[in-house]
Amino acid sequence: MPKINGNEIRPGNVLEHNGGLWSAVKVDHVKPGKGGAFAQVELRNLRNGSKLNERFRSADKVERVRLEQKDMQFLFESDGMLTFMDAETYEQVELPAEILGERRPFLQDGMTITVEFHESEALNASLPQKVTCTVAETEPVVKGQTAANSFKPAVLDNGVKVMVPPFVGQDEEIVVNTETMEYSERA
């Protein structure tokens, strides 16, 4: 595995540190008036979700891990575990539902998502950037209210609340960005 210097750590990098696999969540480069510069890194454990703050000097060497990514199909959820299937080998993998966090409601039956593996262990899952949802309830469309750049609240069929433009009505399909959890466009 490649070793990188402490000042080369970027958010999203996966590192092997203290015998575990950690994902860099936030990286701040600090240059104090006295002493050498260092990177203050917030790490999240990929196996148990615990967090850790570490300082890495530029002379420190860290193991950077590359995760293998596979597209897998979501099958079902039971007892807080999500089951995914590899479309080529029909092999099934289970991951805890908390891994998706607040984006969990956007997961739909049969959806293809990206699962990240280290050796043969499934560690992480990420949704597609854009998902199509149906507006379950919102205020009615008012003619002539499109002059100002205003948004109105809407509840989607999965229970998530988003802000939508005034021209979007009830039972309409819209595309939602899963990273920002915001309205993107009409479907």
Structural domain count, the chain: 3
pLDDT tens by residue, 94-146: 988 888 878 889 998 899 999 989 888 888 888 898 999 999 999 887 776 65
pLDDT of res. 175:
94
Domain shared by 138 and 178, yes or no = yes
Whether residue 147 is predicted with pLDDT greater than 70 in this model: the reply is: no
Q: Picking from 18-27, 96-105, 144-153, which range would have the lowest pLDDT averaged per residue?
A: 144-153
Q: Are residues 75 and 61 in the same domain?
A: no
138: nearest Cα among 115, 123, 156, 126: 156
The pLDDT of 51-67, averaged and rounded, is 91
How many residues are given for the chain? 187
Statement to judge: residues 7 and 61 lie in one domain: yes
Is the pTM higher than 0.85? The answer reads no
**47: how many CB neighbours lie within 10 A of its CB?**
11
Q: Give me the CATH number covering residue 49.
A: 2.30.30.30
- Domain holding 122, by residue range, is 68-126
Closest CA to 64 of 118, 109, 26: 118
Chain Cα centroid distance, residue 152? 25
